[in-house]
């Protein structure tokens, strides 16, 4: 398999894994605190990544790669905090897609400045991808965002975009250990947040199998994205990986029997067109 085809395959695999992880994590948060769900699931994810590093006998990379991983984890954790704050205070149907579009857009800009513009077909595919992400993620029309919710959505997208950019700096010879560093830094930051907002009310028991599945899927998505950016352009890998809302919506339709609106089907069509244009 040539490097470009591998990058496309890994990018789509990342979107599928992240979307499925978001779906299982969303189901888990119906009973447990969202920050507890994230931290506990990431414990399983870091165990998987460390196990893969040992299994593949991956050498511990230079400190710079571990630093990139750690910074990526902090950026991703801050993005999560901003996203959930934004979802709680604003219109979810606008906050979520705006976050996803900003997160995908930052690596595109970084790719343009670092390696130049991609082909016109791929640029058109990026446009279809952004439109599809926005369309498929929205639920209802809702009011215009308040200023605070808008800033939180932009901050969340900025955090996720930085996560993608920093993970994209990882060497193709050091995939798993930098991701372990990202998970550990993210867990440390979110654990501090949990301790600061600790509640004395009793919490329902954790659904560990579901949390383990969430952590494994999220960790796999990170690994697939790191491989995609190692084999190909960062912007293409980021846009393909950012199609994860399609996977989440598809699983909700398949498993929870949630009906898709006409607008969401239109978004799916735009995403399929984007995949065709980007992969040509």
pLDDT at 1: 67
Token digits for 122?
Answer: 């791929």
How far is 161 from 7, CA to CA, in rounded Å? 18
Tokens of 150: 């808008």
Record the tokens describing residue 279, joined without a space. 């992969």
Task: Write the pLDDT tens digit of every residue in 246-261.
Answer: 888 888 888 878 777 7
Q: Compute φ and ψ for 273, nearest 5 degrees.
A: -65, -40
Nearest to 279 by CA among 103, 165, 121, 133: 121
Q: How far is CA 127 from the centre of its chain?
A: 19
- Statement: residue 50 has pLDDT above 90: yes
CB 158 within 8 A of CB 102: yes
pLDDT digits (tens, 9 = 90+) for 52-80: 999 999 998 888 889 999 999 999 999 88
* pLDDT classification of 218: cutoffs 50, 70, 90: very high
pLDDT in tens, 189-207: 999 888 887 665 666 788 8
8 Å CB contact between 36 and 194: yes
Ramachandran bin of 199, using left for φ above 0, alpha for ψ from -120 to 50, beta for the remaining angles: beta
Structure tokens at 45: 């994810």
pLDDT digits (tens, 9 = 90+) for 7-47: 999 999 999 999 898 888 888 888 888 888 889 999 999 99
């Amino acid at each position: 398999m040539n490097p470009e085809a591998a990058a496309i395959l890994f990018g789509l695999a990342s979107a599928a894994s992240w979307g499925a992880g978001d779906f299982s994590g969303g189901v888990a948060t119906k009973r447990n605190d969202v920050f507890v769900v994230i931290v506990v699931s990431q414990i399983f994810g870091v165990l998987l990544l460390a196990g893969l590093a040992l299994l593949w006998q991956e050498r511990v990379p230079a400190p710079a790669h571990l630093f990139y991983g750690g910074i990526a984890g902090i950026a991703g954790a801050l993005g999560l905090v901003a996203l959930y704050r934004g979802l709680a205070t604003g219109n979810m149907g606008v906050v979520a897609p705006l976050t996803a579009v900003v997160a995908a857009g930052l690596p595109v800009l970084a790719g343009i400045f670092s390696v130049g513009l991609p082909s016109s077909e791929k640029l058109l595919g990026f446009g279809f991808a952004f439109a599809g992400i926005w369309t498929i993620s929205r639920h209802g029309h809702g009011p215009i965002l308040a200023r605070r919710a808008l800033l939180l959505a932009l901050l969340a997208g900025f955090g996720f975009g930085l996560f993608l950019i920093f993970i994209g700096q990882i060497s193709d010879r050091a995939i798993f250990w930098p991701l372990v560093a990202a998970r550990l830094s993210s867990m440390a930051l979110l654990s501090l947040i949990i301790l600061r907002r600790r509640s004395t009310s009793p919490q329902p028991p954790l659904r560990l199998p579901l949390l383990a599945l969430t952590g494994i899927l999220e960790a796999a998505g990170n690994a697939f994205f790191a491989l995609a950016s190692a084999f190909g352009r960062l912007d293409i890998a980021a846009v393909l990986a950012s199609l994860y809302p399609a996977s989440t919506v598809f699983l909700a339709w398949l498993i929870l029997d949630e009906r898709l609106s006409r607008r969401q089907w239109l978004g799916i069509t735009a995403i399929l067109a984007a995949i065709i244009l980007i992969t040509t």
